[in-house]
Structures are given as C-alpha cells and as structure tokens.
Structure 1
Amino acid sequence: MTEIERSLRNKTLVVITTVNEPYVMLVNESDPSLTGNARFEGFCIDLVNAIAELRHFRVRFVECGGYGGIDPVTGEASGMVKELMEQKADMAVTDLTITYEREQVVDFTMPWMNLGIGILYTLPQKEPPQLFSFLAPLSLEVWLYMAAAYLGVSVLLFVVARFSPYEWDVPQPCRDQQDVLENQFSLANSLWFTIGSLMQQGSEIAPKALSTRMIAGLWWFFTLIMISSYTANLAAFLTVERMVSPIESAEDLSKQTEIKYGALVSGSTKNFFRDSKIAAYQRMWAFMKSARPSVFINKSSEGVERVKRSNGLYAYLMESPQLEYVLERNCELQQVGGLLDTKSYGIALPPGSPYTSSISNAILILQENGTLHALKTKWWKERKGGGMCKRRAKKSPSSASELGLDQVGGVFVVLLAGMAAACAVAIAEFAWRARRLDPTTQVSLLGEMARELQFMLRSRSSTKPARHRRPHIILTSTDLTVPSPSTS
C-alpha cells in the first residue's frame, strides 16, 4: 500500500455531481426525509462507492449545476470544472467527457466508459398502404411496356395468322368443294389468346402454323418470366412493413433545414460541433447557432421529450451511452446513423490532485473484474423499464405479417369494376340482339329483359327455343287492294 492510499483511508471526500439519468438520479425528490448520500442513486453513485470500498475512504455527494468548462472567448470556468479549480471539491463524477480544454485545468482519471455522439430521432413512420398495392411489385414503366407488348403481340399474331395459309381451314370438313375458308385468329380472338396466356389460363384456340406457334411460344416464355417475377416480389410488397425515414445520417441532417436538431447547451457535444473542421459539421453548427427558437436544451431529458413531441421535426444530438439508455425505454425512438466521434468519460479531480493515480488504478481493477460491465447492465437494462423494447420485439412474430384489406383492397375494387363493366356489356349485347331479331317490336327493353329473367328462373334447362330474325315487311297500296269477285 502506497503512502497516498494510506492517506485516503477513512478520509471523507467531497464529490460533486449533476443529475442526469442513468448516471446520477434523485431517489425521491418529494421525500424530505432523504438527505445526504441517500438522495442519490445511479451508475456513477455505485461507481464511486465501489472505488471508495477499494481504497477505504468515505464520500459525501453534493449536487452541482452544470458540467462546466472554459469559455473560449472570456476564458472563464463554469460548473463543476470551476468548483474543482477552486478546490471546493475533491472529485467530480457524472457523465463528464474528457476534453482537451478541461484537461488543461483539471486532472482526469483513466476512462471508465468510451462513447461517441449519436443522433436520437423518432422511428420512421409506417408507409400507409395504398389501395392498389398489388401493382407495386412492378414499376409504372414496366406495366406500360407489358401493356404495349400485349397489344403488339396480339396484333402481330392476327396479321401473321391471316398471312399464313396453314391457319385457314374449311368450316365444315365433311362437305366437299367448299369455297369458303375460315381463320380462327380474328383480332378479338388474338387478344383473347394472349390475355389468356398472360393470366396462365389458356384458351380453346391453338395455333397451327409454325410461324404462329413461334409467336405463341415466345409469348408464353415472356409471360412465364414476368408472372414469376411479379409473384415472387408481390409477397414482400404486401407483407413487409415499409418505413419512410427522411434522414439516415448526420450528412442528411446537414443538407436540409426542415428537421431541426440541437444538443445540450453546456457540454462536449456542443463544443464538438463548434470546433469541428469537417464541412458537414460546420454547416450543422451554423444552423444550430442561428436557429430560432433555440435548438439547445438545458437537460437531456428535455431533449428526449422534444424529440417525442416534434412529430419528426427535431433530432437530438447526444452521447451514445445515454442514447442507448433512452432507446431501452422508448420504443418509438431510434438512433440514426453511426457515431460521429470517439471520446471517453472520466472522473475529474482538482489540478495536481494526489489521488488521481490511485483512483485510476481502482477503475482499472473494476474494469478487469467485470464490475463496470455489471453496473452498466444493472442501470441500463435492469432498472426502471430497461430492456422493455427488446422484450416487446421478441414477442412480435418474426414471420411475415398477415394481409389486411388495406393491402389487397385494390384487387376487390378491380373485381367489382370489372363485374360492373361486364354487366353493362351484357345488357348492351342483349339490347343489340333483341333489336336485330325484331326491329318492329313494341315491347320495351325492360320488358324483354323481364321476360328473359322469368324464363331463366322457371327453366332449369340450358337450352331454349331459337328466335329468328323477322323480316321487316313494308305493305304497299297494291298489297291492300281487294280483288273483285269473279263472274261466272
């Protein structure tokens, strides 16, 4: 045991700190019976108590406002740094970052935690499902090219079938010496053949000539590839929840002005952007400094709440350990991008303090025996709602989610619209046929339809008497002349 360690035994050190979850927290602000060290809890409180147990000294915690540092313009110290410089405390413990300017005026132990600056932001909003989501697997350009291919192949099939002699057949093969040939590939049938292939249903029409079979085979190959690609991509588009996030990194933040961002008003994060030589961070600093209302906040908890209430219009720049602590308890938040820098937390002591080396050795012992890791697990994951979001994620199904009406509603719309169009065409066909059969009929169209409906309901047969077209007879005056009686 060294002389310094002996001098520490049974000595009471004044430890100044500032409240910031989960490093230092008040046990119960409304309980007046709690005084002294009993008022405080947290990672740093346990850390100092573990060091005190190793080095056999006592501590007295005193709350101090602000982290503090050296003002670059006036050179004046503030916060805990000022308290240490004036020898009003023996130690400063909280999430105090080791920086160059602080290192010049106070002593720091070896780091007890490494970290970096991260971006706290709301989770990306779920993209609202569109009514025609089933069209999403293929781009609009591909859909247009498919429609053009369908029309082009149909017309080409019609032309080639008309040109090829092997597609012309006699309508009644049993009769000899027929002067009429028939071609099954009319324009309507050509369109029906290609759409049947595209829908993988086929049709009763089949090509006979080599040329038309080549066209059909290539069209079938084309539909095989396109339908397979569409089907494979459809499941992902309908079952995977798609998120829309306006920012993915600090670079994205620096290139826009709609989403505001800020940091703690007094701390190393703000100083990092102020002193940075990187162009993107310089733009961010200029934006933060000129923003009105101010984007800087006094406490990290205020920054977290501002992110929650901003509806995606504010991002908070904070140090990664505390960001991790927030994400464990706020499932609606996320970290955007990676860490912007690398730095460390340390315990600050007055300049020239004789205890710096001894306390650094104690931190190294706690790091090697796993105490620091156990303390972080305790305060980050086990206390006050820690791990809540991860437990919730485990309960959620890992497989694809079920489809709802929002995802496939467009298919029903298309079906209903098609059925309505088919009914309208059927009515038009019925009216056209009825007028061709009997142009002089006095029965209204609704009457004809009612009579057809009655027949359909009364009869179970699939046949009915044929109605032939009645000739349009025009009577003349000679037709109406009455013949004279014949004479005997």
Structure 2
Amino acid sequence: MPTTPLRRLREYNRTSLTYIAPRRKVVPRRAGVATTTFSKFNLFCFSLLSLSLFWISLIFILFSFFQIPLSGYSSSLSSSSCSPHSSPHPLSPQTEMALMYDAVHLFAKALGDLDRSRPIEVARLDCEGDDTWIYGNSLVNYMKWVQVRGLTGLIKFDAKGFRRDVTLDIVELTKTGLVKVGRWNPTSGANYTKSYREVEQDIVEELRRKNLVISSVLEPPYVMLQENSDGGTDSSQQRLEGFCIDLVREISQMLLFNYTVKLADDGTYGMFDADSGKWNGMIRELLEQKADLAIGDLTITHEREQVVDFTVPWMNLGVSILYRKSSKKTSFFFRFLSPVSADVWLSVASAYLVVSVMLFTIARFSPYEWTESHQCDTTEGRINEFSLLGSFWFCFGSLVQQGGNALPRAISTRIIAGVWWFFTLIMISSYTANLTAFLMAERLETLVESVDDLAKSQIQYGTLNGGSTWNFFRTSKLAIYQKMFNFMESQTPTVYSTSNEEGVSKVLKGDGQYAYIMESPSIEFATERHCDLIQVGGLLNSRSYGIALPPGSPYRTLINSALGKLQETGRLTDLKHKWWKVERGGGACQTKDDHYFENCCHGDKVPANVPERMLGLPCERMLEHPLIKSF
C-alpha cells in the first residue's frame, strides 16, 4: 500500500485543523466579565470541516488500499476544466478525489504561510450581515500566490483565480487500453511523443478496420457499368468496372481495406457555384463527409486544391482537339464528280438519253429536217442530219457548252433544243459553284492543324460544360483562349456537351464542321475505337488526374505510397493498355505496324524476326531502335 501520500494527507489535515480550530483569546475585561471568541457557531464550522476532511481521508485510504494510482490524473483532465470558460461537465470520481486532495493541500499551505506572516484570529460572523473576516482576502491572495505540486501536477493560479500552466497527458485508446502519446500545455500546445512509424502503423490499423466510401462518375474507360452477357449494361445493381475500379482494387489489396464505390448524386465532378457559395459533384460529397475518397478522371486544379486534398498524380495529360478525318475517299482522277451527288449525275445522264432520242425521233418525222444532198455527196436523195448518232453528239456538245455542226430547222426540234440548252445552262452554273465551294472546303479542312487554325476557321467547337477544360478557357489570360471561350458562350444552340460521349458523338455527326476539346487520354480512347477520328495539334496545357480526399485525411500518405509502388512496377501502364487498347472494342483502329510489337510489351512471346541482340533490351528501347523501326 502506498504510504507516502497517506502520511502527507494526514500531515496537511493536522496542519489545517491546527489553524482552523478556534483559539481562546482573552480580551480586556468589561464590567469585570471575562469573554472569549469561542462560540457555538465556531464549534459548528469546526465540526463540519473536520467531518469533510475525515471523509476525504477515508476515500483516499480506500483508493490506496485497492492500489488505484492517483498520480497522472492530469491525463484525465480536459483543458476546458482548467480554463476560465470551463463547462459544467461532471468529472470522474478519481478526478474529483485528486482535485479535493490538492485543494486541501493548497489551502493548508496557504493558511500556514499566512499564519507565519501574521497572527490569525477567528471572529464570530453573521451569515446575514455585511461584515467579513478581516483575514479572508489575505488568505485568498496567499492561495493565488502559493505554488504546490499535487496529484494533478503543479498547482498555481493567475490573478483572477483560475489555474494556469496546466500540463495534460494525451492518451489514446488502443487494444491494450489507454496509452500516453504526448503532453499538452497552454504555451506550446500538443507535443506528441509517438514516432512517425508508430503514427503510420496506427493509421494502417485504423484503415484496415474501415469500409471506405468512394465517390465516382460514369466516364469511359475510367468508370463504366458492367456489360451483361447479351452485350448490354447492367444498371440495376450498379456493378462497375473500368480503369479507376481496377486502380482502387489494386490499392485496397496493398493496404488491406474494404471499400464501396458509389456514383455521385448529381453525376458531376465538382464545380464551385459563386451564387450559392457551395460546391457540387464529388467535391461536395467529400466536404460533407459523405465519401472518404473521390476517384475518376478528376483533374487536379488550384481551385479544388483549396478545399480538398489530392494524392500524387496517377496520370499526366493535357488538353487537345478531337476532330474528324475527311470522309471523302474519291481519287484525284474522279474528284470532279464530288461536287454533286450520284443521284444528280444519274438524273443528268437520264435526261441526256431522253432528249437525244426525242430529238432523233421528231427530226425523223419533220419534213423540215430533210434536205437535198450536197452535189459533192455521192449519196442520192434527201438526207437528215439528226441521225441517232448526230442527236447524241448535238446534246453532248450543248451539255459541255461547245455546240455542234447541225442546227435544228423545224419549230418542234428547236423547242426541244432550247429547253435542253436552258437545262444545261442551269446545270453547268450550279456545278461550277459547287465545285468551287467543294475545293475551298477541302482546303479549309486541311488547314485545321492547331488551335490557332481552329480559332480562325468557321468550324464550331465546344467542351464539357462546367468541367476543368471549360474552366481552363474561362480563366485563361491568353487572348486566343479568351476569344475561343467567348465564341463558345455566344453560340446558339449551345456547343457544350454534358458528357465526353456526347461530345464524341457530335464530332462523328458533324462531318468536319465540329471539333471537341477534351483531355488527351479521352481522345486516345476515342480514336482507338473510331477510326475516322484524329487528334489535331499538340497539348494546350499540362495537368494531372489524382484521387481526392477530405481535407486533413490521414490516409493520403498511405495512398501516395501505394500509387508510387504501382507506378514503379508498371502496373498503371498495364491497366491503361488493358482499358484503352483491349477492352470494350479497343485496338479496332490499330495498323499492322501497331500490332507488330504487341506481345513485346504486353505479352509473353516476342516476334520471331526480331534480331537476337535486341531481345535483352527494354521494350521501350526496342520500339525506338532503328533496327526495329526498319522492319
């Protein structure tokens, strides 16, 4: 049994009783009567204080008997209980005992110091009167001035009577119980004694016990609904797949945590609304603690980094232009047929045949088309110049604006010839105008090779409405980007799209009159599946995709470490190859040369005709080596 605190308590109790007990004082005699200051009131106060000290001592002895330590109770005290603005929350019995012990200790010490400085006299006071004990203020001042080291640490007070310089132990609940992890004081704040490795291990243990809620949006190939056996998508149970789903699975297998992927309620990434002062999309769900992570083609921007935390990038990219290749496959020799459709050419050919036959037939029945033969002509009798071959030659000459040797003489044949000439005039004029427009459009199409060409052309272009690319043009200080943003904002109907899939569809249906601006990985994904789409120009900027977490999330360092390991092992490259070039129709537009070294980088078999001295090189160097390129 610890006896030292018990002896100290007995000593201070005895000292307190010595100073508080009423003393007999002889006063000058009045009328020959001797009086004392001892009264029934003093006896009552003395008895009450003695009884209180007795119970305090008894409780302390019980705690000592059951070996309940009273040292270190500072870890059980909250900072609010020692501050001027403490809240009236009930304390634990152990804490109350420690504070009562220290209060008696401090009172006895202050009372002893006061008695040594001056004699103390006990006077009778009336509880309903205005008189006060003349030594009360002095005792209170001594209690503010004196310093005692008690069970709850160093005890000292400020001028207002509040305890100051409190030192609290910071404890943490672990599997083995409460463990001291640091100390706190008002001057320097919290000081944790745990090492970085211990803190990281605690976070790992905490992460393994949690089921993380991950927010995302549907965007191929990052997050997609799984396909059914019949080729459709399953939206009933929201079963998801894609690059980001595999990425989360890889990270969870490394860090050993469970997770649940849910789609964002409004299906957006996250944009700040200046009118309402709130965020939407996945960023809002992180801020409202509805999700622990947000993953997808979520771009790391300065505006988003002000409200949430991002991991290291798992993909670097930029903004570029998606455009459609020329759909006209006509050779140079037959290019003159392109200005008008095949139906028009068939109609012209049919009209040519009908008019030629009609001219031949009417000329045969009209007597005015029969003339005497020339004297040098050996043919006897009358002749008709509009034979079948002559009629075809006359109509063809009129069609190409060249005429012929014979001219109609009869009124009927002249009417037919006039109608045909008027028809050929309109036809040739229309063909010439269409040919000029066709050549000019073809020339403009070949000039769109950069963002500057796109801005100067008459081609419409747009972005994802409210996305990071839209925000890039909105906040850019470059004149050309400001011009493009103003152009997109002024178009009616809108040139923006609600998803990248809608933007790609507009490019396919636009027949060269619409371009879509989006991130380069999404452009690569589209061009792998639509062979008539190309990327025009280089990257307009440089940006990255990352995983977003709530501000101050303790899991950021662990996820960064996992992403770094996946990057070093090449797992991220394998996942990108899987979802860009293999799954969901990938590789449909690869050429023979693209397939040549497919097994070299992502298979087990190397092509047989690769030189032996190249087999020991890394795949990237093999693809760039001149000997390999020569095949």
Q: Same fold (TM over 0.5)?
A: yes
Mapped partners of 2:326, 2:592: distance in 1: 18
Which amino acid is 1:121 matched to? Y
Q: What SS does structure 1 have at the residue aligned with 2:272?
A: coil
Cα deviation for residue 384 of structure 1 reads 1.6
Assess, with a 3 A threshold, how the Cα gap between structure 1 residues 363 and 132 changes in structure 2: closer, same or farther. closer
Mapped partners of 1:34, 1:11: distance in 2: 26
Mapped partners of 2:272, 2:565: distance in 1: 32
Given candidates 351, 376, 399, the residue that maps to 2:551 is 351
Q: What SS does structure 2 have at the residue aligned with 1:284?
A: helix
Given candidates 573, 578, 588, the residue that maps to 1:378 is 578
List aligned pairs for 1:173-212, cutoff 5 A: none
Given candidates 314, 326, 340, the residue that maps to 1:124 is 326
Task: Report the TM-score when normalising by structure 1.
Answer: 0.55
Mapped partners of 2:233, 2:524: distance in 1: 29
Mapped partners of 1:66, 1:53: distance in 2: 28
Mapped partners of 2:234, 2:482: distance in 1: 47
Given candidates 255, 263, 267, the residue that maps to 1:63 is 263
Aligned position for 1:237: none
Cα deviation for residue 126 of structure 1 reads 4.4
Mapped partners of 2:202, 2:464: distance in 1: 41
Given candidates 248, 261, 265, the residue that maps to 2:465 is 265
List aligned pairs for 1:316-327, cutoff 5 A: 316-327=516-527
List aligned pairs for 1:17-416, cutoff 5 A: 17-28=216-227, 35=237, 39-64=239-264, 65-72=267-274, 74-126=276-328, 128-131=330-333, 245-256=446-457, 258-391=458-591
Cα deviation for residue 51 of structure 1 reads 0.4
Assess, with a 3 A threshold, how the Cα gap between structure 1 residues 32 and 323 changes in structure 2: closer, same or farther. closer
- Aligned 8 A contact 1:10 1:56 in 2: no
Q: What SS does structure 2 have at the residue aligned with 1:105?
A: coil
- Aligned 8 A contact 1:120 1:323 in 2: yes
Cα deviation for residue 18 of structure 1 reads 0.4
- Aligned 8 A contact 1:17 1:61 in 2: yes
* CA displacement 1:219-268 (0-9 Å, x = unmatched): xxxxxxxxxxxxxxxxxxxxxxx995241111111113x21100001210
- Aligned 8 A contact 1:327 1:334 in 2: yes
Mapped partners of 1:331, 1:33: distance in 2: 29
Q: What SS does structure 2 have at the residue aligned with 1:59?
A: strand
Q: What SS does structure 2 have at the residue aligned with 1:114?
A: strand
- What residue ranges of structure 1 are gaps of 5+ in the alignment? 134-241, 396-488
Equivalent pairs counted in the alignment come to 286
- What residue ranges of structure 2 are gaps of 5+ in the alignment? 1-199, 336-442, 596-631
Cα deviation for residue 75 of structure 1 reads 3.2
Aligned position for 1:192: none
Q: What SS does structure 2 have at the residue aligned with 1:245?
A: helix
* CA displacement 1:319-372 (0-9 Å, x = unmatched): 011110111111000000001000000000111111111111111111111110
Assess, with a 3 A threshold, how the Cα gap between structure 1 residues 31 and 115 changes in structure 2: closer, same or farther. closer
Which amino acid is 1:13 matched to? L
Cα deviation for residue 389 of structure 1 reads 0.6
**Matching of residue 3 in structure 1 with residue 205 in structure 2:** no
Mapped partners of 2:234, 2:529: distance in 1: 28
Assess, with a 3 A threshold, how the Cα gap between structure 1 residues 80 and 358 changes in structure 2: closer, same or farther. same
Root mean square deviation, CA, Å: 2.5
Cα deviation for residue 34 of structure 1 reads 5.9
Assess, with a 3 A threshold, how the Cα gap between structure 1 residues 28 and 390 changes in structure 2: closer, same or farther. closer
Assess, with a 3 A threshold, how the Cα gap between structure 1 residues 317 and 390 changes in structure 2: closer, same or farther. same
Mapped partners of 1:31, 1:265: distance in 2: 25
Mapped partners of 1:132, 1:269: distance in 2: 42
Mapped partners of 1:74, 1:389: distance in 2: 46
Higher relative contact order (CA 8 A, sep 6+): 1
Q: What SS does structure 1 have at the residue aligned with 2:277?
A: coil
Mapped partners of 1:56, 1:48: distance in 2: 11
Task: Report the TM-score when normalising by structure 2.
Answer: 0.43
Which amino acid is 1:27 matched to? Q
